[in-house]
Amino acid sequence: MSLIPVGEPAVPSLHRAARFEDAVRNIMERRLRQRGWDVVVLPYTGYGAPGWIRVLGRVLLSRTGSKPRRQPKKVRGWRSFLTVSVNSAPVVIEAGDRRHEVVADRGGFVDVVVEADLEPGWHTVRLSSPGGEPVDAPVRVVDPAVRFGIVSDIDDTVMVTALPRPLLAGWNTFVLDEHARASVPGMAVLYERLVNAHPGAPVLYLSTGAWNVAPTLTRFLGRHLYPAGPLLLTDWGPTVDRWFRSGREHKRATLVRLAEEFPDIKWLLIGDDGQHDQEIYAEFAAAHPDNVAAVAIRRLSPAQVVLAGALPAHIASMLPPQLGGVDSPGRFAKKWVSAPDGAGLVALLRSAGLL
């Protein structure tokens, strides 16, 4: 058994926004506990390799002991954000024959790497916290022989959310129910063909979205037949040293982490041109060319690109020769592809030798 702390790095003092957030959480937690609310552990899908796994979850308060209510047919997005986390909650992780004791961070999140003797494939680990029922969290253990993987954005890459338009994005996120959200045409078929062409390839969904919507996204991906895989989201709100977390830094840091955790895997990076995926992927490709198989960008508007497979000059100049930078335009067209939907990307990735 091992004791592993989880949470924010030590700093002299918390940002005032974080202190205010913690004070509000403490008041709400105390009052809800007085009303009979209990601890519940919400498991997220993790990943790993033989010898270690990354376990993800969150400790929250939930109404229990009352008469079950009928599940509503439609779940509005804003309901996902009405949660109260349990700060610094102790959590026990049971992975195979190993048992680890960890402590959730100030937002109730568990994000920790632990030792585990698990064979490649899908497994479940048991998570429990005092006062709550044990739950099982799925974990994908990647085979060391695998050399190809997929990292995919979510918003406007696999799910239509129109994030470049802030007002409509807010409506889609907080008002629409999950069944009203549409899948990007052809993307589920693309992902199915990729995993069939590369057996054992892990699929990870990297987004700047909040962990609050993880259950909604998981149901959406399953309903539209996307391959199962871990969600790598972020926690909205204040950090120990700033008002809000940076979504771009979250994506950059996660890509670098994956390159360190799986140095032999070349990733197909899939995103869209509505936010900053192109710049982030180009930076990562320049710094880690041996970890990038190709980049596939779903175009939101023809005005944002000149031709399918082309890039704005300032992004093309960032790429190394290995990915076909400006010094080798012929190879470049095969390593960085762009199309408005999954069908277009299928054809381009087939030409690039990935399908």
- Burial environment of residue 345 by CB neighbours within 10 A (0 to 12, 13 to 18, 19 or more): buried
User: What does the pLDDT read at residue 247?
Assistant: 74
User: What does the pLDDT read at residue 320?
Assistant: 60
User: What does the pLDDT read at residue 115?
Assistant: 97
Distance of CA 175 to the CA centre of its chain: 22
DSSP-derived 3-state class of residue 103: strand
User: What does the pLDDT read at residue 23?
Assistant: 64
What would the two tokens of residue 259 be? 């390159």
Tell how strand 203-210 and strand 231-234 pair up: parallel
Using alpha carbons, list the distances in angstroms from residue 238 to 5, 18, 79, 106.
21, 5, 20, 11
User: What does the pLDDT read at residue 70?
Assistant: 41
Domain boundaries, given as residue ranges, for the chain: 2-141, 148-351
User: What does the pLDDT read at residue 298?
Assistant: 93
User: What does the pLDDT read at residue 46?
Assistant: 98
User: What does the pLDDT read at residue 68?
Assistant: 37
Tally of CB atoms within 10 A around 85: 22
Distance of CA 220 to the CA centre of its chain: 14
The pTM (predicted TM-score) of the whole model is 0.80
What single DSSP character describes residue 65? S
Reduced 3-state DSSP string for the chain: CEEEECCCCCCCCCCHHHHHHHHHHHHHHHHHHHCCCEEEEEEEEEEEECEEEEEEEEEEEECCCCCCCCCCCCCEHHHHHCCCECCCCEEEEEECCEEEEEECCCCCEEEEEEEECCCCEEEEEEEECCCCCCEEEEEEECCCCCCEEEEECCECCCECCCCCCHHHHHHHHHCCEHHHCCECCCHHHHHHHHHHHCCCCCEEEEEEEEHHHHHHHHHHHHHCCCCCCCEEEECCCCCCCCCCCCHHHHHHHHHHHHHHHCCCCEEEEEEECCCCHHHHHHHHHHHCHHHEEEEEEECCCHHHCCCCCCCCHHHHCCCCHHHCCCCCHHHHHHHEEEECCHHHHHHHHHHCCCC
User: What does the pLDDT read at residue 308?
Assistant: 32
148-351 is classed CATH 3.40.50.1000: yes
Backbone angles phi, psi at 40, to 5 degrees: -135, 140
pLDDT along the chain (355 residues), means of 10: 46 53 64 70 96 95 54 45 76 96 90 96 96 94 98 91 51 53 92 97 93 86 95 71 67 97 97 87 92 92 41 58 44 73 95 91
User: Do residues 166 and 286 touch, judged by C-beta distance below 8 A?
Assistant: no
